[in-house]
Chains A and B, each alone.
Chain A
Amino acid sequence: MTDQPAFQAEVFQNEYLPADSTVVDAVVTVTASGSGPSGAAPTVAQVIMIDCSGSMANPSTRMSEAKRATAAAIDALPDGVDFAVVSGRAYADMAYPEQRQLVTASARTRAAAKKAVAQLTASGGTAMGRWLELARTLFAGSAAELKHAILLTDGRNQHETPEELAAVLSACEGQFLCDSRGVGADWSGAELRMIASALLGTADGLPDPEDLVDDFRSMTEAAMGKSYAQVSLRLWTPAGSTIRFVKQAFPHVEDLTARRHEVSARIGEYPLGAWGAESRDYHLCVEVPAGAVGEEILAARVSLVLGDQTLSQGLVRAVWTDDTALSTRINPRVAHYTGQAELAEAIQEGLAARDAGDVDTATSKLGRAVQLAEESGHTDTAKLLARVVDVVDARTGTVRLKQKVAGVDAELANVRSVKTIRVKNT
């Protein structure tokens, strides 16, 4: 018997609306618990893209740690998983195997791959779109259900235009999942987030190359531990309604609104990628036609689906009342994630203004970010922000921009700006 994880969807909302009010907010927490299927786990393929640009040699530990990390990821591949290693410069090359194809993991191929990786040298530039394009070609020939990639860079995407990268990402969307990582101090948080966001993965920066090994191993293990390769959020909304937004709110903010695929007039689906034993929160906001006091409507039906199979479902309701004691309550989770989304936006806009030399906007946005981080108890983000600004009063959001900021601290604040925390249990 397969041991499928049990999915559970929980809806948090204040369903009571005052007369004439039309906006319905809800947070849906979807949790898959259990050990995962023993017989029905998806077949997996993995491509590792390792930056071999010239800067990787400086300091020399960067290249050697990247090689160790790649070896650790290769060791974490179970027998039978198809894989390849791509070396990335201003173009993309096969590091292992030599031909542009995936090979099946075994003791022999893992050893051969590690040997090939050990011989990589650093030279040349950075064009991540080319690396991703090669990964896409490699995955295209694979029948694996879950296609997972890791992209490691130590620098900015210097040798192609942002438009070129965007075009490749759009071609790769839905073809494979990709986690992106920056090592050292010269990568761009915005670029890593763009790649991870388009390819439904995670983004992070690792200033210390020594952290790479553990991170590569855990990314690989997480991919191998997924129970479902491609799940979607399915959303039914009533006639006459407008979907204001659908966002993933935890573990990181991701606006899904524009990713809708129409299923029918009332139903749309939003791809979520792979699921293992994990829990995620979604915040949705639907505008419905105004109802009379006493009326109750279903404002949304939120399901997690695997093809046509519904894994779990939650109902978002709207009930109109003239009892203001009911209608004025704000659901704490909705309020919390509204704040977390604003926090991410304030950090990103503040850092962009700072880069553009707009001190006033940067100070105001980053001040607001410090205030929101303080209010929600997001201590990790508060610590990152304190490396970019001098905090005068966190409670009021009074800050001064630091005169000297290590570049990597601003990028870390950027790449981690989307990471959220859950509301503290009350």
Chain B
Amino acid sequence: MAAPQCPACAAAVTETDVYCEACGHDLSQPAPAVPTAPAPVASRWVSSSGGPATCPGCGGKEFGAEGYCDNCGQRRASGMDHNELQLGGLAAVTDKGHRHHRNEDAVGLGLLESTVVGVICDGVSSSNRPDAASNSAVDAAMPALVTALDKRSPAGDAIGAAARAGQAAAALAAGPNPGSNPPASTFVCAVVEPDAVTVGWVGDSRAYWLPDADGEPKCLTVDDSVSARYAARGVAIPAEIPRSQAGALVRWLGADATDTVPHLHTFTPSGPGRVLVCSDGLFRYRPGAAELAEAAPRIAPLATAQALVQLALDAGGQDNITVAVLPYPPQRGDEHD
């Protein structure tokens, strides 16, 4: 008898597989009328989404269809309190910090043939279910980004597609009736190609360039916040705007967002270095590019991300902290993850 194969793409499968590893086809079904093209095997992505298997409130393991614990009713988080990702030469760490009730940040990493990508979404704490917004946005943005880049879309266009997918997912994160304060999230995306680094963002999560030797470290993004808008125009914040509102977000993803087209910035590094993508839980403690570069040890990407998260925790951990480290020039690295 012939070795079993996927009826859709003819890839080899094992008897116990439910879905084809190559194309995702449901193996209990016959081939579709139009054959499914196998995804390019070179492109893969991972994300931090996925809630804990055990209810942190009571230890219960059963959750209803709506995501609440069957015993104590606590809503299951969309992500873990602490999570570490490694994909080839990329790494990311996310942590809920000391003060927040749950981790509302989410991160995704992607590995393509000659490009590496990272996305961070930071759920807006004051919105309803921010963790649902950030995790669903990352999970929608990552495949959109990877698919667009696989089709040779320019990085800026691919980031635009990723933001659109993230926006659609965030807007639906709390169901058809999200209420008056619907889930909201920031979005930042870095695409590291052999000859350029492109970043795109909505909100106040950041990307930094940390050169190994040549040039100065710099922040590649400009926060979508009240204070950053005035700073970008080179004017002081008017006195009538209270200090407490100066940091307020002016753009975000979510059902009540009106402007979700990402700002884009592209540059070509003059030498090797690292692109560091992070949420405000880290950069609030090291906002300047130089001081952040100084705090980022030149060790393996995962160890670097761990060290920076620890730095933020030691400094108070006021907010959720997420750090992704992407090497330039892009390196696929070992594909252990």
Contact = CB atoms under 8 A, between A and B. Distances in A.
Contacts, number: 47
A9 to B, nearest CB: 13
Contact of B129 (A288, A296, A299, A326): A296
A294 interface: yes
Given A239-B58, A292-B101, A326-B181, A297 B72 contact: yes
* Chain B interface mostly: loop
Contacts of B57: 297
Given A239-B58, A323-B126, A298 B68 contact: yes
Interface string B170-181: 000000000001
Contacts of B68: 297-298
B333 interface: no
Given A239-B58, A323-B126, A295 B66 contact: no
B66 A298 contact: yes
A296 B71 contact: no
A323 B64 CA distance: 28
A240 interface: yes
B225 interface: no
A319 interface: yes
A319 B72 CA distance: 14
A293 B72 contact: no
B125 A238 contact: no
Interface in A358-377: none
B73 interface: yes
A297 B125 contact: no
Interface in A237-295: 237-241, 266, 288-289, 292-295
A299 B126 contact: no
A295 B131 CA distance: 12
Contacts of A299: 73
Contacts of A297: 57, 68, 72-75
B101 A315 contact: no
B101 A293 contact: yes
Given A293-B101, A298-B66, A239 B72 contact: yes
Contacts of A319: 128
Contact of B100 (A238, A294, A298): A294
Interface in B69-91: 69-75
A266 B64 CA distance: 13
Contacts of A292: 101
B102 interface: yes
A295 B126 contact: no
A1 B4 CA distance: 44
A238 B71 contact: yes
B123 to A, nearest CB: 11
Interface in A10-62: none
Interface in B117-166: 125-126, 128-129
Given A315-B66, A323-B126, A298 B75 contact: yes
A239 B128 contact: no
Contacts of B101: 292-295
B71 to A, nearest CB: 5
A326 B127 CA distance: 11
Nearest to B71: A239
B126 A238 contact: no
| Residue of B69, B73, B129, B181 most packed against chain A (CB within 10 A) | B73
Nearest to A297: B73
A229 B24 CA distance: 48
A295 B100 CA distance: 10
Interface in B179-198: 181
Interface string B28-67: 0000000000000000000000000000011000001010
B70 A266 contact: yes
Given A292-B101, A295-B74, 15 more contacts: A237-B73, A238-B69, A238-B71, A238-B72, A239-B58, A239-B71, A239-B72, A241-B73, A288-B73, A294-B100, A296-B74, A297-B73, A298-B64, A301-B64, A323-B126
15 contacts: A238-B72, A238-B73, A238-B74, A239-B71, A240-B72, A241-B73, A294-B102, A294-B125, A295-B74, A296-B75, A297-B57, A297-B72, A298-B64, A298-B69, A298-B75
Interface of A: 237-241, 266, 288-289, 292-299, 301, 315, 319, 323, 326
Q: Which 3 A-B pairs have the closest CB atoms?
A: A238-B73, A294-B101, A298-B68
